[in-house]
Each structure stands twice: as C-alpha cells, then as structure tokens.
Amino acid sequence: SRADWEAVNKLVQFLIIFYKATIVLSASTSPCSHKLYHAIVTMTKNILMLSTTADPDALLRTKASSMLGKLEKYWSLFDDKVDMNRLVMVAAVFDPRKKMKFVKGCFDKLYGKDCAESTHLCAEITSILRKMF
C-alpha cells in the first residue's frame, strides 16, 4: 500500500545517513581522518533531529532515540566517563578546505550558536593545536 511505501522511504532515508558515514569511516585506500568528524557530526545531528521530531512515525523516533543512546556511549563531548578522541576534530582543522571555521560551525550545529559548550570546545581544540606546535 501507499503507507507501506512511505514507511519504507522514511527508513531508507534514515539508513542512508549511516551508509554514508560507514563509507567514510571504513575507507582504507585513501586518508579519511579529515572527513571523520564531519561524518560523526552529520550522523549525530540527524539522529538528534529524528529522536526529537514531532513526526507521527513513533517507531522511527524510538529507533533514533535508541541509536542516540548508543552513540552517546562512545561520543559524548561532555561526559567524564567517555574518553572521546579530540584529535578527530584536530584532523578536520588540518584539512586546508575546512580549518577551524568548519569545526566551530559543527559545534554550533550540535550545541547552538555561541553557546558555552561550543566556546569551550573551540578553546580546547585551539589549546591542543598550540601544544602541538
């Protein structure tokens, strides 16, 4: 029926996010460290959007909420129990097309423009870069 096809289309759109991230994360024939942070931010942003949306598809919202919990287990910026590798963000800064402006933009997308978390993370990444050089 039409409703079934619409449900399948929503699921496919949901899974495409992870397919694209998997392609970036599993690349073995080309350097991908500068692409990694963008893939993680895109995935996180989409999961957050799907888990908090007012979409009538409760199953998709439930799956997204479950996936968000699993993602936060490994990728939570402000959880003392999670040791997130901030060098992933530093690698994005070294990409000449992106620089620090890209990383700051990602923080703003995830946490809100000019919020305390975004400002703190920018300062932390800048500090890491200064220690390296």
pLDDT of residue 71: 80
Contacts of residue 91, defined as CB under 8 A and 6 or more positions apart, other chains included, come to: 33, 34, 36, 37
pLDDT of residue 79: 58
Has residue 73 got a pLDDT over 80? Answer: no
Query: What pTM did the predictor assign?
Result: 0.71
pLDDT of residue 42: 86
Domain borders along the chain are 2-132
Q: What sign has the CA pseudo-torsion 84, 130, 38, 56?
A: positive
What is the rounded distance in angstroms from the CA atom of residue 108 to the CA atom of residue 102? 10
Asked if residues 51 and 80 have their Cβ atoms less than 8 Å apart, the reply is no
More confident residue, 16 or 35: 16
More confident residue, 29 or 132: 132
pLDDT band at 76 (very low <50, low <70, confident <90, very high): low
Mean pLDDT, the chain, integer: 81
Asked if residues 71 and 61 have their Cβ atoms less than 8 Å apart, the reply is no
